[in-house]
Structure 1
């Protein structure tokens, strides 16, 4: 049987916009797709590598990107001309980037997110069930276990970081026919535990801090994605660990492993398990399942 492929999307011409005096916003497509997101990451990677004078911040998004500039150093029109050149020179069939495949242990159906989601049932589409039961039924699975098997069965790529500092938005690396989808709560919660693993639309997230939220809650990870004080070894260079283009491999754990990892985190000694790889969009499009197995092999 031939491997299932993902067909790259034909993107429209980019739309370039000013954002006040010191931002340039570029929309690559109206809809999120692997093609649009890979193109956004490729362009922003090239901007970073070229160290364009006057570019202060560089933020890729799901199907767009934004650059903050110093207008006294570079005019937006001059930057847009550079961006148009970069965009025209990128061929995703040949482009690759170095990234990390990161092990993310998760205690699914944990007591903390369970207590929270039960507290807010009046804001949910299914007041009589749990978020996982609702998600499993909505996606045609006959059990929560089967749904979770699909959720962890393929890695999730970090497509952007934002909304709140350190929150990774992750898109599961599967063909469209296999994508899981769920709506957000009818009305957002006023509380979500830190490190909660949630899902909304087709995106998984890890909530970096306690606060409001509207995504379906599935579990909690013992590891941090945000370390403002940079006390953990993996945060020496940045207060945020996951970066756009990183690949998260969610892994189900039990309470004993959760507690053991959490003890290391609180002692300041925990280090992520990850593998550095060269990611090829072309190889991923050609056979996503086989390529995913190849990607995660180094952390299993």
Structure 2
């Protein structure tokens, strides 16, 4: 039987600890708990921050007392969340692989012992679960990278990696949402903004959702970039399950 603990985390937060391992089933349980808490509309909860195997619930102690929030959260985590029936939201993220925008593309292919075409196929055939957000605004920790594509990080990290760069670091893949230093192997770039501070919801993808990368041409990259810059591009997504 799954054991879930509700712990005190300072004077204005509770930490819900789920089974301590990384797995899609654990993530679905966390996402279902977030959904239940939102449905309850508990006055005083100010934020919920999911991680690999936990959920931090922040609250305002001037609005709701510790005893009350602890009681209500503890009751919710005991509910039947029916995680098997949850829908899967998949974001379609276009990527221009290789070339100047993917300077480590052929190194990753060589490390895996495959062709560039096979690298693109393997990287773009899966839906990647967003386990959590962190490190940078909108930086997604993705699970599900094909083992053959696992590639060590750079020995000497780059001082600046452009926003939108798609990289591989060890057993993970992801997108740099803003310009930043980094040591991942860069295999391409997306013209989509994963983080846009000008929008009401600045972070595009949320924990518990999925990302599917698909390859595009230079011409498509230029067209989408222009549409993004003019505010006339909407990232496509669909639901499964």
TM-score (normalised: structure 1): 0.71
Aligned CA distance change for structure 1 residues 229 and 50 (closer, same or farther; 3 Å): same
Whole-angstrom CA distance in 2 between matches of 1:147 and 1:46: 40
**For residues 86 and 203 of structure 1, do their structure 2 counterparts lie closer, same or farther at Cα, with a shift above 3 Å needed?**
farther
Q: Which residue of 2 aligns with 1:101?
A: 90
Q: Runs of at least 4 residues of structure 1 off by over 6 A? A: none
Provide the secondary structure at the position in 2 that maps to 1:165: coil
Is residue 4–residue 16 contact of structure 2 (8 Å, CA) maintained in 1?
yes
- Contact 1:157/1:173 (<8 A) preserved: no
Structure with greater strand share of residues: 2
Q: What is the aligned-residue RMSD (CA, Å)?
A: 2.5
Please state how far the C-alpha of 1:167 moved relative to its aligned partner: 1.6
Find the partner of 1:48 among 4, 28, 38: 38
User: Does the CA-based 8 Å contact 1:194-1:211 persist in structure 2?
Assistant: yes
- 1:224 lines up with 2:193 in the alignment: yes
Deviation at 1:134, TM superposition (A): 4.8
SS in 2 for 1:261: helix
Whether the 8 Å contact between 1:189 and 1:212 is mirrored in structure 2 is yes
Structure 1 residues without counterparts, runs of 5 or longer? 1-9, 115-129, 231-236, 280-300
Q: What does residue 124 of structure 2 align with?
A: 152
Number of the residue aligned with 2:167 = 198
Q: Which residue of 2 aligns with 1:81?
A: 71
- Equivalent of residue 219 in structure 2, options 253, 256, 262: 256
After TM superposition, give the deviation of residue 70 of structure 1 in Å: 0.5
Take 1:18 and 1:186, find their aligned partners in 2: how far apart are those partners?
40
Give the CA deviation at 1:206: 1.4
- Unmatched segments (≥5 aa) in structure 2: none
Deviation at 1:266, TM superposition (A): 1.0
- 1:262-277 equivalences under 5 Å are 262-275=225-238, 277=239
Deviation for aligned residue 1:82: 2.5
